[in-house]
Amino acid sequence: MTLKTKYRTLLFLAIASVPIVLLSISVAIALVYDKVFKLKNEGIPFHESFAYPIMLVAFVLSLGLLALLFSTTIHSLLSKITMLNKTIRELASNERIPNTLTISSEDEIGQLMQSVNLLIERTTYRELELAQQQELQKELLQKLRHDIHTPLTAIRLQLFFLEDQLQGQPKLVESLNAQIHYITNLTNAFQLQAFDTSENSFVVQEEIQLAQLLETMMKKWRYLYRMQNIALHFHHDDPHAIWISNELWLQRLFDNVFQNTLKHAQATKLEVSIKNGQVFMCDDGVGFEPDADYAGLGLKIIQDIAKTLNIDVSLQSNDTGTSFGFAQKSLQ
């Protein structure tokens, strides 16, 4: 039976039952009074006797009983709606997947509960499938980290044996060791961050001296830029500018800009500057269309890391060059 039919029938019964019940009570009390109490009360009419207020009380009690009986149906409907509301909110909260609902009727509410059960079962399946995929990805990442660490260890050993031959170039040995350490830290960070989205990933934050960080990165990239005849310039208006961020992930963020400029910009210079607590990186290359389909992985990585680190990124690019601007959002 549909809800429409059910409540039409309920309304009809409510309208019909009131006069029937009242008439039945009045007739029953009147008959009892005439047969039992009228002679004892010396012929006092019914409307003047004690039976009349008893009949009125019986009317009120019967109406209250009818209201209670019919309200149970409304209460049952409201209980089902409340249960559906609670179940859908639990499903949307991502805290836990609720149990499927017990369906006791075939009306519209029952059909709605069937649909909610289908949604719960589908969500359960997707959660289990996602968990399995994440386990496989973790296993693959661990293997990849092992494959990366193995050649890094071999490079360290080879560098150890070459130190005697490179005694005249201590900075080169120090730079190679620093790069090996950087790659190691980066792969370790991937293990912690690879399975988190930008919204829920956790990054340990600390005070970062921007000028010192960028100067170190300029030294790292200067050799490759010199090989490609690209000039590097660094300017800042505040040598003590500080961001509250993560040094490793900031390096990765800026590394992608250095990498993109080196490989794709066809530039002759890259200017890095710190102005009013913001970082600007501008080249004089051929530029590109940021919204085009061919926009590379480097740009996507820049946007993802900036989102994770709570950094606003501005990008302007045309045939005279490309300019990146990075500004840390205010901490609430």
Q: What's the pLDDT tens digit per position in 240-282?
A: 999 999 888 898 899 889 988 988 889 999 999 999 999 999 9
Bridge partners of 242? Answer: 209
Shortest CA distance to 83 belongs to which of 100, 108, 107, 106?
100
Per-residue model confidence as pLDDT tens digits over 200-248:
445 668 899 999 999 888 887 887 888 889 999 999 988 899 999 988 8
Domain 206-328 has CATH 3.30.565.10: yes
Q: Which residue has the tokens 């740009």?
A: 299
Does this model's pTM top 0.75?
Answer: no
pLDDT recorded at residue 115: 87
**Residues 6+ away with beta carbon under 8 Å from 150:** none
pLDDT recorded at residue 199: 45
pLDDT recorded at residue 197: 45
Enclosing H/E stretch for 286: none
CA distance 203 to 206: 10
| C-beta of residue 261 within 8 angstroms of C-beta of residue 267 | yes
In a 3-state reduction of DSSP, which class is residue 226?
helix
The backbone torsions φ and ψ at residue 272, rounded to the nearest 5 degrees and listed phi first, read -115, 130
